[in-house]
Amino acid sequence: MTVTVRDALNQAMDEELERDERVFLLGEEVAQYDGAYKVSRGLWKKYGDKRIIDTPITEMGFAGIAVGAAMAGLRPICEFMTFNFSMQAIDQVINSAAKTYYMSAGLQSVPIVFRGPNGASAGVAAQHSQCFAAWYGHCPGLKVVSPWSAEDARGLLKSAIRDDNPVVFLENELMYGVPFEMSEEVQSKDFLIPIGKAKIERQGNHITLVSHSRMVSLCLDAAAVLAKEGIECEVINMRTIRPLDAEAIETSIMKTNHLVTVEGGWPQFGIGAEILAWIMEGPAFNYLDAPAVRVTGVDIPMPYAKILEDNSIPQIKDIIFSVKKTLNV
């Protein structure tokens, strides 16, 4: 059976709301509007005002309220309409949620999920297109998850909601409508994907491609094209940004000897930069036959015009080009 990422998220939330009374959802337009991107469709009708709460447009305030509720024993899902708006509330995410368990030396936990679409969309311009994976991935005390497929969305959101720690859950608007095959096992109510474990989406011997979220699709597309030329890519879907599954990446590099990371966000101090640093410092470095390389968004604010926007984010041809340069073919 095929399920879209949107429906997978919806079903995961529905099942977790049913399973645990303490779980509730708050955010802008999540209730009566069914969600700005319809991810929470039907939930208000089913669970009502107490569990599905429409907030005013006041991120700092409602994120703080969500964190407080988590401190006092509830398990909130705090939706940011997009993660761009989380910047208005980032103090609450970092200082109130992420650091509290540490500061209290284990007395006060914060079982909260911050979720919403992250990164570039289509034509939404500079203030609505930023990727926050690197920003949140930087902070100890946070778990940061970035699902790609419907199965990822389902299993990781359930894990995030059941996790007793603050989890930043980075969705992608362009992936919401994409359908994926979903096995019976994945559809079961207790199907969980562990946070902190990457998945190999495609096996290959010649080069390792590491990516997260929508860019995994591009990596698989590039791999299909390259396969026709006899180049077999191993595509790793990170699934989690923090904690980083460096071991999965290292194991792959020890097999393929080549690495290209692919992300939608900006290059400087980004996900690829971090992965490359890990590899430099770890056991896989000596297995590299060529410098590891990053494919990233262009280092500019996101332009609006289609031709400019298309050239601001990695395209399949950029991945193919980087693979061939790395393999020296």
Partner 1 sequence: LKKKAALVSRLLSKTKCDLHKLEEGPPLQAMLSREEGLQYYRTMQTMRRMELKADQLYKQKIIRGFCHLYDGQEACAVGIEAGINLSDHLITAYRAHAYTLTRGGTVREIMAELTGRRGGIAKGKGGSMHMYTKNFYGGNGIVGAQVPLGAGVALACKYLGKNELCVCLYGDGAANQGQIFETYNMASLWKLPCIFICENNKYGMGTSVERAAASTDYYKRGDFIPGLRVDGMDILCVREATKFAAEHCRSGKGPILMELQTYRYHGHSMSDPGVSYRTREEIQEVRSKSDPISMLKDRMLSNNMASVEELKEIDVEVRKEIEDAAQFATTDPEPPLDDLCNHIFYNNPPMEVRGTNPWTKLKSVS
Q: Give the catalytic positions in this structure.
A: 59, 128
Q: Closest distance between partner 1 and the C-beta of residue 56, in Å?
A: 4
Cα–Cα distance, 171 to 179 (Å, whole number) = 15
**Which residues, at least 6 apart from 121, have a Cβ–Cβ distance to it below 8 Å?**
82, 128, 129, 173, 174
Percent helix, strand and coil across the chain, each to the nearest 5: 45, 15, 40
Closest CB to partner 1 among residues 283, 291: 291
Q: Are 122 and 114 in contact (CB under 8 A)?
A: no
Closest CB to partner 1 among residues 97, 218: 218
Strand order through the sheet with 207-211? 199-202, 233-237, 207-211, 259-262, 293-295
Q: What's the number of CA atoms in the CB half-sphere (13 Å) around residue 91?
A: 7
Q: Closest distance between partner 1 and the C-beta of residue 152, in Å?
A: 24
- List of residues contacting partner 1 (CB under 8 A): 28-29, 32-33, 36, 54, 56-58, 60-61, 84-85, 87-88, 121-128, 267, 293-301, 303-308, 311-315, 318, 321-322, 325
Measured from the Cβ of residue 299, the count of other Cβ atoms closer than 10 Å reads 10
Q: Closest distance between partner 1 and the C-beta of residue 61, in Å?
A: 6
Closest CB to partner 1 among residues 91, 164: 91
Q: Closest distance between partner 1 and the C-beta of residue 49, in Å?
A: 11
> Roughly what angle, to the nearest 10 degrees, separates helices 215-227 and 316-327?
60
Closest CB to partner 1 among residues 197, 306: 306
Closest CB to partner 1 among residues 62, 191: 62
Cα–Cα distance, 94 to 98 (Å, whole number) = 5
Closest CB to partner 1 among residues 102, 304: 304
**Which residues, at least 6 apart from 6, have a Cβ–Cβ distance to it below 8 Å?**
37, 38, 39, 176, 177
Cα–Cα distance, 201 to 223 (Å, whole number) = 11
Q: Closest distance between partner 1 and the C-beta of residue 311, in Å?
A: 6
Q: Closest distance between partner 1 and the C-beta of residue 125, in Å?
A: 4
Q: Are 17 and 31 in contact (CB under 8 A)?
A: no
**Which residues, at least 6 apart from 288, have a Cβ–Cβ distance to it below 8 Å?**
253, 257, 258, 259, 279
